[in-house]
Every structure is written in structure tokens, then in C-alpha cells.
């Protein structure tokens, strides 16, 4: 190729055939809705206290096929550099999941999702370092998604002996086409030898066109009031600026203060209860972030220390919720605030030993959030937001002879209590947990590496996700959790081309 033009083409493919999630029942699950058949001997099913006992009525599966291609072209000119990034990605996902995780045939979730996505980005950069640098660009996205979701409650039909036309088995057929255009730019100006000002902005326009069609029967009316067929559409646009002031000290340290705004488009709930909710959808989310920090390389670059404090104000924060034990919807919290402090360090202790660590404090709460059912979650913590978290790792590296190397790593990570639902229901959360992992790797030549590893050495029991299973009338304190892997060890061989 021309010396001034570089083209990189890449492709990837991934195929996975996995068993269903290790979702386990917690609390007490109902085998059917007992108000249909009072006095039935199948009214309730307590969950096993052992989180590793498989109680599911369906083992389930997750089949995934994903492939993509991309091309990056960079053209260096005398006055600027032009970059083009073109990509296409296709994903096919088919899954079955016993949503309750219990021995009660409460609800089995079936999902088939096919998606195509095309993106194109152009970036033009130029300028002189330590004087004026600039960037201008354009971004385009088109996504086409077809999705079928089915919440199969037919196991609850057994006590009632419902005929097939009345089987408790709603289907949601969803089609969504998204078109996104954005233009963006950024300018960095050196005000002095040490002080620089960075300003940027992005204008985004996005359109979503959907079709949501339902079939099936729901005798409760809680998940599907009646079949509907709607075709909502909406457009959103946003101007999001940013500004940053950087000051460079001597000896590799930089302090900065920044302000930026963010935007996430709205959308439509594909499993809405009725036509009105499906047509209405949810609004866009906006955020304003203030940050001040320090980045430094100290002691002849043997120590790295980064500090940051931030404050984020959210408007119409999008919240993902499981409603009535099976309907997955997105709603908007009126306002929320996330603020905190982060510290990160990395140190070379000797020629062989390296130490790294990080700590984060997070205060993240809903300022105002009253959901569609009138529940007030104001003042509750945001989901998946631990107040404290930290990580410590120690690494040892040494050569062995002329052709081999040995490395060893031990790391410990901790997070405090979290919740997986905005109402902060204690059962739908997880207590604090600390995980200890270790790895020893023998490198042979330029290509081979053999590793002996162990994760969760102390065999902690913790939850990766929890969904609320209390149902429409809160008849029991129940849920289902995906349990984190227990203590595991293994051997891995890697070959690098």
C-alpha cells in the first residue's frame, strides 16, 4: 500500500453452547398462584438452604453465535490524519432459563434474539503538540433487532387443569430498528508550558422504530392484560459538551478538573403489560459529571499514583426492574446522585516484585424515584453500587535460564453490600464479599505459556445477580440468585502466534 495509507481488516467469530445459568431459589417460591386454587397441597415450596443444590425444573441452555468484520483505514496527510472505521456485527442468541430456580414450575423464560449492527466513523485530527490540537468526527449506527420473549407459566396450570387455549403462556414478539447520527469535535490548547485547556462537544440524533406484538393468555392480567400490536417510534437529540483544565507539575504529575455531560436515548419496553405502556416507553437519560483528580509517575517511574473525586447528577435515570416476578421493564427514576473518591497505585518494589492496589468509595442514591405502582424508592442506594471496594495484587517475575520465565500473581478483591433492585429489598441483594485468586505461569520461548491457577481460594458464597420473585401480590419473600463460582482450580496452556 501507499506509505501514507494503512488499512487493517479484522474478523472474529464466536460460537458457544452453554448450559443454563446456575440460578438458585432463595426464600420461598409458589408452585402456582394459590388464589386460583385455595387449599392446594402445592401452594408453596421452600427453597433449599444449600445454594449449590440444583432445584430447577428446567436446566436450560444458552446458545450464542456472534461474528463480525471491521476495516480501519488511516491516511496520513501533511496537515492532518484521516481515520475511517467501518464495522458489521451479527449476533444470534437462543436461551432457556428457569426464572425461579426452584423445584416449583413457576416460570420458564425463553428468548430468541437476532441482531445486525452496522457502524461507520470518520475522524480527522491535526495540530501541533504543546500548542493547538484538534479533532473532528462523524459517527453513524444502524441496528436491526428481532427478539421473541416468552414467559412460560404453564406449570401453574396443573392444579387448575386449564385447556391449551387458556394456558398461562404469554409471548412478546419485538422488532426494533435504531438509526444514530453524531458529530463531534475537540480542541486542546496549551495556555502555558504547564497549563492546557481542552474543550469538546457532541451532537447526537437518534431514532427508534419498534413493533411489539403479543400472543397468549394471562389469567391474572399482571403480565399481559390483553394481546396487543403496537408500532411506537420516537426520536431524541442531545448536545453534550465537555471542558477540562490540566496542569502539569514537574516530575511526571498532572492535576486536572473537568466537567462533562452525557446522554442515553430512551426506548420501548418489549414485555410491557399493555398497549399503553408499550407505546409510551421510557425517556432519555441525562448526566452531568464534575471531576477533579491527580495523575502521577513518581520515583523515576517506579510508583504510579492516581486520585480522583467525582460528582454525577442524573436526570431521568433509566432503571432496569423485574416487575411481578417475570416482567423485565425499564423505567425512569426522576433524579439520582452518584459521588465518590477513587485511588489507584502501582509500584515496582524490586526487579522482580510489583505491587498494585485500588480503592473506591461510592455514595450513590436515588434522590427522587416513585415508580408506576406508587412505591417510593427515594433515598435508596442505586443497584450494584457498593459503598466500599478495593483490590490488592502482588506479582513476581523472574527469568529461568535463557528461554523460560516464571511469574506468580496473588490478588484479593473486596466489595461491600450491594442491592440488585431499587427498592433495596434485603433478599434481593448480597452481603459483602472478598475473593482471593492466585496464578503461577511458566513461559517457554516466545510462544508457549503454561499456567496453574485457582480462583476463590477461600470458597466464598456470593451472588452475581438476584431477581425479585415476590410476584404481583407479595405473597412470599422470594427470589432467584445466580451464585458465583465456588473454589476452582485449573491448568491453562496458551500459544501465541
pLDDT at position 223, please? 81
The predicted pLDDT at position 57 comes to 80
Distance CA 153, CA 135 (A): 54
Q: What is the pLDDT along the chain (497 residues), one digit of tens a residue?
A: 455 899 999 999 999 999 888 888 887 765 544 444 344 444 566 788 888 888 888 889 999 999 999 999 999 998 999 999 999 999 999 999 887 777 766 788 899 999 999 999 999 999 988 789 999 999 999 999 999 999 887 766 555 555 555 677 899 999 999 999 999 999 999 999 899 999 999 999 999 999 999 998 887 777 888 899 999 999 999 999 999 999 999 778 999 999 999 999 999 999 888 999 899 989 999 999 999 999 999 988 899 999 999 999 999 999 887 665 556 678 888 799 999 999 999 999 999 999 999 999 999 999 999 877 778 899 999 999 999 999 999 999 999 988 999 999 999 999 999 999 898 988 889 999 999 999 999 999 889 999 999 999 999 999 998 888 776 556 567 788 889 999 999 999 999 88
CB 308 within 8 A of CB 340: no
In sequence order, the β-bridge partners of residue 373 are none
Q: What is the pLDDT of residue 36?
A: 41
Report the C-alpha gap between 409 and 392 in whole angstroms: 11
Q: Is 302 helix (H, G, I), strand (E, B) or coil?
A: coil
What CATH number does the domain located at 5-383 have? 2.40.170.20
Contact 174, 128 (CB under 8 A): no
Tell me how far apart the alpha carbons of residues 257 and 307 are, in angstroms, rounded to a whole number: 12
SS3 207: strand
Cβ–Cβ contacts within 10 Å for residue 165, how many?
7
Those residues with Cβ within 8 angstroms of residue 462's Cβ, 6 or more apart along the chain or in another chain? 430, 431, 433, 435, 483, 484
The predicted structure's pLDDT at residue 166: 63
Q: Residue 439: its pLDDT value, please? A: 97
What is the per-residue pLDDT for 471?
A: 62
462-491 residues labelled b (16+ CB within 10 A) or e (exposed) = bbeebbbbbbbeeebebbbbbbbeeeeeee
CATH 2.40.170.20 in the chain: give the residue spans: 5-383
Amino acid at each position: 500500500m501507499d506509505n501514507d495509507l494503512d488499512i487493517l481488516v479484522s474478523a472474529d467469530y464466536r460460537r458457544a453452547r452453554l448450559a443454563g445459568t446456575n440460578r438458585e431459589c432463595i426464600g420461598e417460591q409458589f408452585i402456582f398462584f394459590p388464589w386460583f386454587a385455595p387449599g392446594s397441597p402445592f401452594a408453596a415450596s421452600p427453597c433449599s438452604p444449600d445454594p449449590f443444590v440444583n432445584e430447577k425444573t428446567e436446566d436450560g441452555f444458552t446458545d450464542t453465535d456472534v461474528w463480525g468484520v471491521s476495516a480501519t483505514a488511516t491516511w496520513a496527510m501533511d496537515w492532518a490524519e484521516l481515520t475511517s472505521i467501518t464495522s458489521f456485527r451479527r449476533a444470534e442468541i437462543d436461551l432457556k432459563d428457569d426464572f425461579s430456580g426452584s423445584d416449583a414450575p413457576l416460570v420458564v423464560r425463553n428468548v430468541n434474539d437476532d441482531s445486525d449492527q452496522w457502524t461507520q466513523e470518520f475522524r480527522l485530527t491535526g495540530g501541533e503538540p504543546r500548542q493547538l490540537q484538534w479533532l473532528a468526527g462523524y459517527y453513524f449506527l444502524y441496528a436491526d433487532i428481532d427478539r421473541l420473549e416468552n414467559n412460560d407459566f404453564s406449570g401453574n396450570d396443573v392444579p387448575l387443569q386449564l385447556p391449551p387455549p387458556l394456558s398461562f403462556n404469554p409471548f412478546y414478539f419485538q422488532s426494533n430498528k435504531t438509526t444514530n447520527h453524531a458529530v463531534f469535535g475537540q480542541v486542546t490548547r496549551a495556555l502555558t508550558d504547564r497549563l492546557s485547556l481542552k474543550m469538546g462537544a457532541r451532537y447526537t440524533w437518534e431514532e427508534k422504530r419498534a413493533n411489539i406484538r403479543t400472543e397468549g393468555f394471562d389469567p391474572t392480567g399482571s403480565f399481559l392484560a390483553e394481546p396487543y400490536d403496537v408500532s411506537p417510534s420516537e426520536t431524541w437529540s442531545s448536545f453534550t459538551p465537555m471542558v477540562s483544565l490540566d496542569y502539569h507539575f514537574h516530575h511526571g504529575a498532572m492535576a486536572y478538573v473537568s466537567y462533562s455531560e452525557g446522554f442515553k436515548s430512551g426506548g420501548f419496553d418489549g414485555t410491557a403489560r399493555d398497549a399503553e405502556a408499550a407505546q409510551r416507553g421510557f425517556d432519555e437519560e441525562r448526566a452531568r459529571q464534575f471531576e477533579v483528580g491527580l495523575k502521577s509517575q513518581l520515583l523515576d517511574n517506579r510508583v504510579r499514583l492516581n486520585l480522583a473525586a467525582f460528582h454525577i447528577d442524573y436526570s431521568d435515570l433509566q432503571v432496569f426492574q423485574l416487575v411481578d416476578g417475570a416482567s423485565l421493564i425499564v423505567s425512569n427514576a426522576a433524579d439520582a446522585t452518584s459521588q465518590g473518591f477513587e485511588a489507584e497505585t502501582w509500584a515496582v518494589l524490586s526487579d522482580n516484585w510489583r505491587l498494585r492496589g485500588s480503592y473506591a468509595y461510592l455514595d450513590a442514591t436515588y434522590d427522587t424515584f416513585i415508580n408506576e405502582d406508587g412505591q417510593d424508592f427515594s433515598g435508596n442506594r442505586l443497584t450494584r453500587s457498593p459503598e466500599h471496594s478495593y483490590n490488592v495484587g502482588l506479582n513476581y517475575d523472574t527469568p529461568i535460564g535463557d528461554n523460560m520465565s516464571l511469574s506468580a500473581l496473588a490478588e484479593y478483591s473486596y466489595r461491600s453490600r450491594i442491592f440488585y433492585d431499587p427498592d433495596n429489598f434485603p433478599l434481593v441483594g448480597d452481603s459483602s464479599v472478598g475473593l482471593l485468586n492466585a496464578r503461577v505461569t511458566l513461559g517457554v520461548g516466545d510462544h508457549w505459556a503454561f499456567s496453574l491457577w485457582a480462583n476463590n481460594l477461600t470458597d466464598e458464597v456470593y451472588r452475581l445477580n438476584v431477581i425479585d420473585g415476590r410476584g404481583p401480590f407479595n405473597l412470599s419473600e422470594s427470589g432467584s440468585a445466580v451464585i458465583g463460582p465456588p473454589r476452582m482450580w485449573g491448568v491453562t496452556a496458551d500459544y501465541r502466534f
